[in-house]
């Protein structure tokens, strides 16, 4: 079951080959999702549905459950109630169509790999174990490196990078994957202003190509310009909807300014 085979509509695209411009859009549905860690209830009754071609901001205070939700969508942790449907089917862990950027990876920074090697890893889901790494793949990697301004650093070992450069390398890996769905946990972390703006621009391009993009972050000011939808959570779902409707001061206030600090634990 290779990724290419399931992308039966790839031909229409010029760049970022894996998106989907077609009439019947692919839906991601989350129904009544709940997640528990030992004694901590991290998420409860999360419900939303979105589809490719849209971008969604995941907003909430620290400990609201944003990372938990993204990990569930990436198939890395299992919820204890509810379900997640992608294209109508339950999500499996190794869905080739999903790219995930962790908030804090457990990286062995001394691993003998260069920036380019790291980005090339993103091609894995498309190549599988065997397929030859082609000119086409090299082009995609090249583009991901360029878009994150890593061309000059491509032969550096990954520990010989600054914090922001590392973050860019991991974003480039997620881009090179050319996934249908991009799950990005605080992607702007550590990026300088120009890189942040660059990434915002990229988000627009990605959704224009027909990808589905979900990103958590803390900068409330950039929600309006950058995203179509917003999901405000604080363990429970506060609101989900198009930014214009859902991202109201009242809703934001009810996510953050609560005299009851209970959510923070």
Partner 1 sequence: MPLPTITDFLAEPIAKRALLACLMIGFANGFVSAFVVLRKSALKIGTISHSLLPGLAVAVLIAGLSQWSALVGAIFAALIVGLGSIFLSRTSRLDQDTAMGVLYTTAFAVGLQILRGLNVRQKLDEWLFGSIIGMADSDLWIAFGISAIAVITLTALQRPLIIYLFEPNIAASLGVPVRLLNYATFAVTILVLVSSLQAVGCILSVGLMVAPAATMYLLTNNARALFWGGGILGALGSMIAFFLAYPLGWSPSSTIVIVLGSFFLLAYIFSPKYGLFSKRGSVA
Ligand X SMILES: Nc1ncnc2c1ncn2[C@@H]1O[C@H](COP(=O)(O)OP(=O)(O)OP(=O)(O)O)[C@@H](O)[C@H]1O
Binding stretches for Mg ion (CB under 5 A): 66-67, 103, 162-163
List residues near ligand X by CB under 6 A: 37-38, 40, 42, 60, 62-68, 103, 159-165, 190, 192, 265
What the block records as the tokens of 226 is 């950058």
CB neighbours of residue 7 within 10 Å: 19
- The answer for residues whose C-beta is within 8 angstroms of residue 57's C-beta and 6 or more apart is 215, 216, 217, 223, 226, 227, 229, 230, 231, 243, 247
Query: Closest CB to ligand X among 154 and 165?
Result: 165
- Of 56, 98, 212, 223, which one interacts with partner 1 (CB under 8 A)? 98
Q: Is 253 in the site for a copy of itself (CB under 8 A)?
A: no
- 3-state SS assignment for residue 68: helix
Shortest Cβ distance from residue 225 to ligand X (Å)?
A: 21
- Of 18, 53, 60, 102, which one interacts with partner 1 (CB under 8 A)? 102
CB neighbours of residue 150 within 10 Å: 21
Q: Which stretch binds a copy of itself (CB under 8 A): 6-14, 26-34, 62-70, 225-233?
A: 62-70
Binds 149: which of partner 1, ligand X, a copy of itself, none (CB < 5-8 Å by kind) = a copy of itself
Q: Residues 240, 232: contact at Cβ < 8 Å?
A: yes
Binds 112: which of Mg ion, partner 1, a copy of itself, none (CB < 5-8 Å by kind) = partner 1
Distance between first and last Cα of the chain: 42
Altogether, the residues listed in the chain come to a count of 265
Q: Is 241 in the site for a copy of itself (CB under 8 A)?
A: no
Q: Is 85 in the site for partner 1 (CB under 8 A)?
A: no
Binding mask 194-233 for a copy of itself (x = CB under 8 A): xxx---------------------x-x-------------
Query: Closest CB to partner 1 among 86 and 100?
Result: 100
- The answer for residues whose C-beta is within 8 angstroms of residue 202's C-beta and 6 or more apart is 147, 175
Per-position b or e across 52-70, b if 16+ CB within 10 A of its CB: bbbbbbbbbbeebbbbbbb
The CA-based angle 80-125-31, given to 5 degrees, is 25
Shortest Cβ distance from residue 150 to a copy of itself (Å)?
A: 8
Query: Closest CB to Mg ion among 124 and 256?
Result: 256
Size of the site for partner 1 (CB under 8 A): 38
Element (H, E) at 137: helix 135-147
Dmax over CA atoms of the chain, in Å, equals 58
Shortest Cβ distance from residue 162 to Mg ion (Å)?
A: 5
Which residues are near partner 1 by CB under 8 A? 36-38, 74-78, 80, 93-96, 98-100, 102, 105-108, 110-114, 117-118, 121-122, 124-125, 127, 129-130, 157, 173, 177
């Amino acid at each position: 079951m290779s990724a290419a085979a399931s992308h039966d509509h790839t031909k229409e695209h010029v760049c970022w080959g894996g998106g989907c411009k077609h009439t019947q859009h692919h839906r991601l549905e989350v129904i009544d999702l709940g997640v528990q860690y030992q004694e901590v209830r991290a998420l409860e009754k999360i419900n939303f549905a979105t589809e490719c071609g849209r971008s969604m901001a995941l907003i909430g205070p620290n400990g609201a459950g944003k990372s938990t939700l993204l990990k569930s969508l990436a198939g890395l942790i299992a919820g204890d109630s509810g379900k997640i449907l992608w294209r109508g089917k339950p999500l499996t862990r190794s869905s080739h169509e999903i790219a995930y950027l962790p908030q804090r990876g457990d990286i062995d920074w001394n691993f003998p790999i260069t920036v380019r090697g790291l980005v090339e890893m993103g091609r894995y889901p498309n190549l599988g174990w065997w397929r030859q790494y082609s000119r086409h793949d090299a082009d995609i990697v090249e583009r991901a490196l360029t878009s994150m301004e890593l061309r000059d650093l491509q032969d550096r070992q990954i520990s010989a990078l600054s914090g922001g450069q590392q973050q860019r390398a991991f974003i480039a890996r997620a881009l090179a994957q050319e996934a249908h769905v991009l799950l990005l946990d605080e992607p702007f972390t550590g990026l300088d202003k120009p890189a942040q703006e660059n990434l915002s621009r990229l988000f627009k391009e990605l959704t224009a190509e027909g990808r589905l993009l979900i990103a958590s972050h803390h900068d409330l000011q950039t929600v309006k310009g950058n995203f179509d939808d917003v999901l405000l959570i604080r363990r429970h779902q506060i609101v989900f909807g198009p930014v214009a409707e859902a991202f109201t001061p009242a809703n934001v206030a009810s996510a953050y300014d609560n005299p009851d600090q209970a959510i923070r634990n």
